[in-house]
A and B are shown apart, each in its own frame.
Chain A
């Protein structure tokens, strides 16, 4: 291990510290948290986890989050597929402006949209439903999915389309039976990143819901006060939100850069 590999190693240790500390706190009892600095839990307890997994207001929050994230992912990828194909294969009136407009939406600050969204979705009668958050998150997830899929699709030679048409496939049958299987890895990556960016967002998710669809990100804020009792609970809830990312990251490990860079690497 040459000397220079020391640098990434130190960096990874630095990255793991806060996660270790979160884990550490999630297994501590309340008074041990308050009593002071202990690098590992003296009294190992699963109380915080037990509370979260038994109290409906907690575990339902996870269910709500997973629900609207799943809806958003399916919606974003399904809608992005034909659009990405159009961008990758054809030049059409205003295609460059449309692509740029999508980029500007991916970069749009949630703060600018939070108030109008609340009014829009209330007027449409969708306030406090999964659909509201799922639809709101498409603002940045659809552009992301289009960019990533367009990157993958440009890797597939155009002659493949020609071959399928020559074989007699109509456009829909070519698209579903030939093209989608061919870029299945791309779809997997786009879905993963839509899932992630919807899962991590809080501002819109919190403000577009109240009770019926309250996501985990909102449930956690009510305990963010510094008093000891909630810290352990907060840590445990936090650890559980890391689980989806940790599980799925392995499947897209060779495409991580492509996903985050909007498919441009």
Chain B
């Protein structure tokens, strides 16, 4: 188990990167505590796999340092970093039985057979694989094979970190939640540091205590708990990417510590700390917008029903604002007024939360 420290890490696939755009992964510094469950979340091509390969040692970084428990491993190979990885497509040794698959890493390390047997049975029991230990690994279903892949990491007592690269891609949709709960339960029992890479918000938020969100040009925009990401996005991309429908982003002006949209004042929690420079926008999630008899004037454009609630789309001062109306309550039509929940309405400057840019 290891604490992973990343300092000013930057990586480019080009020989001599010049401009910022040449970097697949922009400068980032992070600390992942020992035994934590972390996730790397972002759209396809945002550099999350690059980050994963840097931590696992398959890629050596252009700049910056990665250290496990203080030891600089930036240049060392995967074997020396003692990591385990579960890939997108199940990687198993087809000709071996499930038992041999799980025992393989220990046999390579010349661990005595008796100890291997105990260790493998223990892990198999954890993964509900005890019944198929003697079966050929190739015959199992996709989720069974992914468990074997995971098991090969768990059997090694000295594993520093286990990494998952979108492991549920090939699993049937209705089986996914079982494997997710198994991974979550395992993390609690084994307490090993785990890093989960995905583009799907549900998998990231369900698995991880801390989620690192990256935008399309490879920049880490926020690292926080699911609640922080939902309640207080530090960048408009996080607001947009987390939650569906995403956060409303409305152009606005800030004067004298107060925020105005098209002339009428709107409540915003950090309006006072906005500097007024750069592109100023207001971000509020549809969940925190309600109908009121006074407030920001808006006209209802479209109402779509998701069964659980209705998504009402309104237009105000040239911007689209979405809000949710719970099942059973009447949906507004025509002209109406919108009220924002002050605690969940923030001002953003050039995309970043005003007053909070670290």
Direct contact of A and B (CB under 8 A): no
